[in-house]
Amino acid sequence: MELNGTRTLVAGATGVLGGGIARSLQKDGARLVLAGRDGDRLSALARELGDVPTAGFEALDLERCAAVVDEAADHLGGLDLLVVAFGVAAFGPGEEAGDVIIEHLLTVNTMAPMAMGRRAVQRMDGSGTLAVISAILADVPTPGMAAYSASKAGLSAWLTALRGEQRRRGVTVFDIRPPHIETGLAGRALEGEAPPMKEGATRDELVGLVVDGIRDGRRELAFDLQKREWTGR
Ligand SMILES: NC(=O)c1ccc[n+]([C@@H]2O[C@H](COP(=O)([O-])OP(=O)(O)OC[C@H]3O[C@@H](n4cnc5c(N)ncnc54)[C@H](OP(=O)(O)O)[C@@H]3O)[C@@H](O)[C@H]2O)c1
């Protein structure tokens, strides 16, 4: 996809990865709307990028997730690209996680991206790209992160099925499944402490791969833990 002039919504722009992707897409000429939960950080990034329009959302509110996509598409006069870069972690033994935490994880990490993705596909006129950060946990469900892994595996499965449905329409579905990256996400977990994790990539490396992948029409970006290298198609 040509990035110059691409009508783009970045959801989760207040996060470390989302902010990096937004900055990089803008450098390549994309027209942005930024969506996020933390109003102060969202406004600061919007100012940094030259008074880019913003939309606030809480991902637990699924109706609002769909409405944010409509607001962005209305503002931009259509939608070519949705980047989903929000999410939350939780750690601890699988049997100890309570229903409230599990519901929170599945809503924010699985259902909210699905709500945005469904509306985005409806608003794309025959072509476009849905680029969603799930996680390596979809490929390697990990002890100590059972519910977090389940939320990402569910999202990744949905993206795979949607990709098959959308292929003929010309909508590209890009599932991004990074390894651990030091963004501070683990320290903002809903509960529990992350086990020691080896960083598989840096923020800048991931941002570059995501933006290149969007431009090149890639469908998957994953990480081989044995070979410690990126894979995808
Ligand atoms: N870092 C890693 O190692 C890694 C690896 C694989 C996948 N990922 C995935 O990459 C994505 C981005 O993570 P990151 O590393 O950039 O972490 P981050 O800096 O903590 O960003 C998380 C983003 O999610 C938003 N968010 C969390 N809960 C929300 C809610 N209820 N409603 C609306 N927004 C909410 C945060 O908004 P606020 O600014 O308002 O808090 C923030 O924008 C996540 O989906 C994560 O699972 C990360």
Find the CATH number of the domain harbouring 141. Answer: 3.40.50.720
Closest ligand 1 atom to residue 86 Cα is 24
User: What is the 3-state secondary structure of the chain?
Assistant: CCCCCCEEEEECCCCHHHHHHHHHHHHCCCEEEEEECCHHHHHHHHHHCCCCCEEECCCCCHHHHHHHHHHHHHHHCCCCEEEECCCCCCCECHHHCCHHHHHHHHHHHHHHHHHHHHHHHHHCCCCEEEEEECCHHHCCCCCCEHHHHHHHHHHHHHHHHHHHHHHHHCEEEEEECCCCCCCCCHHHCCCCCCCCCCCCCCHHHHHHHHHHHHHHCCCEEEEECCCCEEEEC
**Contacts (Cβ under 8 Å, ≥6 apart) of 26:** 32, 49, 52
pLDDT at 192 over 90: yes
Q: Is residue 2 part of a domain?
A: no
Mean pLDDT for the stretch of residues 194-219: 96
Question: pLDDT value at position 142?
Answer: 97
Q: Say what the pLDDT of residue 132 is.
A: 99
Q: What rounded mean pLDDT belongs to the chain? A: 97
Residue 110 pLDDT exceeds 90: yes
How many angstroms separate the alpha carbon of residue 17 from the centre of ligand 1? Answer: 8
| Structural domain count, the chain | 1
* Region 143-162 average pLDDT: 98
Residue 1 lies in a domain: no
Per the DSSP assignment, residues forming a β-bridge with 133 are: 176
**Which pLDDT score, from 0 to 100, does residue 130 have?**
98
Q: So what's the pLDDT on residue 126?
A: 82
Task: Give the torsion sign (CA, 200, 202, 203, 207).
Answer: negative
Q: How distant, in Å, are the alpha carbons of 81, 87, 89, 148 from that of 92? A: 35, 17, 11, 10
24, two tokens: 């990089």
Q: Is the pLDDT of residue 39 over 90?
A: yes
- Residue closest by Cα to atom 5 of ligand 1: 180
Q: What is the pLDDT of residue 5?
A: 98
Range of the domain at 21: 7-232
Q: Could you give the CA distance from residue 182 to residue 147 in angstroms, rounded to a whole number? A: 21
Distance 75 CA to ligand 1 centre (A): 25
Kindly tell me if the per-residue pLDDT of 34 is higher than 90: yes
226 part of a folded domain = yes
Q: What is the mean pLDDT of residues 12-34?
A: 98
Is 140 among the domain residues?
yes
What average pLDDT does the segment 65-72 reach?
98
Domain-located, residue 219: yes
| pLDDT over 90 at 173, yes or no | yes
For residue 220, report the distance from its CA to the centre of ligand 1, in Å.
19
Kindly state whether residue 192 falls inside one of the protein's structural domains: yes
- Write the single-letter amino acid at 220: E
Tell me the average pLDDT across 45-61.
98
Instruction: For residues 207-218, give the mean pLDDT.
Output: 98
171 in a structural domain: yes
Average pLDDT over residues 111-134: 97
CA-nearest residue, atom 43 of ligand 1: 15
Residue 222 maps to a domain: yes
